[in-house]
Amino acid sequence: MSGIIAEGVTRSFGEVHAVRHASFHARAGRVTGLVGPNGAGKTTLLLMLASLLAPDTGSIRIGDIDPVTEPLAARRLLGWMPDALGAWPSLTARETIATTARLYDMSKPDAAARASELLALVDLQDLADAPAKVLSRGQKQKLGLARALVHDPQVLLLDEPASGLDPQARVHLRMLLRDFASQGRTVLISSHILSELEEVVDDAVFLVAGSVVDAAPAPSATRAWRVRLAGATDERFSADAWQVASTLGIPVESVGADRGAVVVGFPGEDAAADALRLLVEARLAVAEFAPAQSALEHTFLNLRSAPASPPAHPSSETEAGA
């Protein structure tokens, strides 16, 4: 099975250092998120992995293949989905996929069959014969994914694949990505919208200002939790905040508000569990007790600047996201 290993990868454009000594491992059979703000270097890194841009320094392996010295072999393994489709405007969706298949040396009958199969997979059957140029942003994303899958690649590089998708299509995309991983493929997905990654990634890599950064939150980092008492409203927030704070033995000034709920910071899940026990023992009617931030958001907001170790599973307090 083919995974991705990047070691010390650097790429600059004149005085702009887009990627700085980035190292990470995306494993086969898992979905790895490449997380970072706009301008972090995610697309530049993906272009190097896709053999479309050579690194200034460092090394990349796609399975046993170096995409710099063996780009054609690497592209046989890779399915590359850029942020923008870049479709041939005169071709239909069906023709776009079939033409791509022909570029991979498929026969005309096989290319046509593959086009029909992939149009069904990404739910574009009804638009199969519509010109690609008339498709919406979300529909073009679906077509881009189908085109990336045309040669049945073992490694998928997806740059902002959920951009423009409606909620139903995002759920479908999430199911597809999990299915690809279960088949043993390597899936690397880039996004700066953490909510799109939270439910799909197994591992994550954080890229900030071109560098992969340590995903372990600082020891002093606290995570915000929502505590909502039954019947909570904005009008009775002050009373609820006083009850929660006094039960937990903390100053009422230290808690926040979120749509009627009380927001309290805890240094870890054990501390949160102890707090919940105290609230229940005090007979407060706790209707909701849950993190106010997703695990990826918590990690991202508390990043260290040290070089990263191998990505951790995002369900833990030290998870890494990309």
Give pLDDT, residue 257.
92
Give pLDDT, residue 193.
74
How many residues does this entry show for the chain? 322
Residues 249, 200 share a domain: no
Domain range for 231: 223-293
Give pLDDT, residue 219.
54
Q: Give residue-wise pLDDT tens across range 183-216.
A: 999 999 998 778 778 888 999 899 989 999 876 5
Residue 218 in any domain: the answer is: no
Residue 304 in any domain: the answer is: no
Residues 203, 153 share a domain: yes
Residues 179, 147 share a domain: yes
Distance CA 162, CA 1 (A): 26
Residues 201, 229 share a domain: no
Residues 70, 173 share a domain: yes
Comparing 15-24, 147-156, 204-213, 307-316, the range with the smallest average pLDDT is 307-316
**Residue of 134, 197, 186 lying closest to 162 (CA atoms):** 197
Give pLDDT, residue 84.
82
Residues 184, 84 share a domain: yes
Residues 255, 207 share a domain: no
CATH assignment at residue 150 = 3.40.50.300
Q: Give residue-wise pLDDT tens across range 121-140.
A: 999 999 999 998 899 999 99
How many domains would you assign to the chain? 2
How many other C-beta atoms can be found within 10 angstroms of the C-beta atom of residue 109? 8
Residues 130, 46 share a domain: yes
Q: What is the mean pLDDT of the chain?
A: 88
Sign of the alpha-carbon torsion through 100, 101, 106, 111: negative
Element (H, E) at 19: strand 16-26
- pTM, 2 dp: 0.79
pLDDT band of residue 1 (cuts 50, 70, 90) is low
Q: Give residue-wise pLDDT tens across range 238-297.
A: 999 999 999 999 999 999 998 889 999 998 889 999 999 999 999 999 999 998 877 787
Tokens representing 278 are: 């105290």
Average pLDDT over residues 301-317: 46
Residue 94 in any domain: the answer is: yes
Contacts of 47 (CB under 8 A, 6+ apart): 53
- Name the residue type at position 254: S
Residue 198 in any domain: the answer is: yes
Residue 207 in any domain: the answer is: yes
Give pLDDT, residue 320.
34
How many other C-beta atoms can be found within 10 angstroms of the C-beta atom of residue 250? 14
Comparing 55-64, 93-102, 172-181, 188-197, the range with the smallest average pLDDT is 188-197
Residues 274, 140 share a domain: no
Give pLDDT, residue 256.
93
Alpha helices in the chain (DSSP H): 42-49, 71-77, 93-103, 108-121, 137-148, 167-182, 194-197, 237-248, 269-281, 295-301
**Residue of 34, 25, 90, 37 lying closest to 62 (CA atoms):** 25
Residues 62, 201 share a domain: yes
Average pLDDT over residues 213-221: 63
Give pLDDT, residue 298.
74
Contacts of 77 (CB under 8 A, 6+ apart): 2, 62, 63, 65, 153, 154, 155
